Amino acid sequence: MSFPKPSLFLFTRLIFGLILFGFGLALVVIGNFGVSPWEVFHQGISRRTPLSIGTTIICIGIIILFFLFLLKEPMGIGTVANVLVIGLVVDITLSIFGEITGLFPRVTATLFGPIIVALGSGFYIGTNLGPGPRDGLMTAFNRRGVAIWKARTVIEGSCVIVGLLLGGTIGWGTVWFLISVGPSVQFFLRRLQINGLTT
């Protein structure tokens, strides 16, 4: 598997965006008022195994990458970087901040986490260096005749159900993540887009 070599500017922007994305995800976990659908799944696995949340994110990402490779789905250096950087940043952030007990900092982390995730998405998606593996999974279904919204609903719904059964957290933070991250990503993409990416 080989990828075109990106410019230093695009690569720096990609990594910066992924760092922001991972930091935002970690804030939502720290808030402990409910996490995003995929994080419910990752958190559940982490609570049932010796793996940290970040390591779980990386492992699941690698598994998805393997399937995308078998399905010959288009990938880029951003796809691989997504797998490695986000999980690492989540673990580093969680180790620095630890468990927060105060109500105000928890609410603040939960409210701002998705916005930072969206900002990170605006930076790294705007580079056009490859989708994240989880987005690639949805587009793989779409290329085989399944509507994006159906693919996303089934995939993320399954993540929530399995994650809950394993002990993942769902709450108002989950709802806030779902309703805030989409519009926020669109807002930031319009201001950070490159090469005519349309939103």
Reported pTM: 0.88
Residue 4 has pLDDT above 80, yes or no: no
8 Å CB contact between 58 and 81 = no
Chain Cα centroid distance, residue 160 = 14
In 3D space, the residue among 92, 98, 34 whose CA is nearest the CA of residue 58 turns out to be 92
Mean pLDDT within 89-107: 92
Q: Which whole number is the average pLDDT over 79-102?
A: 92
Maximum Cα interatomic distance, the chain, rounded to a whole number of Å: 47
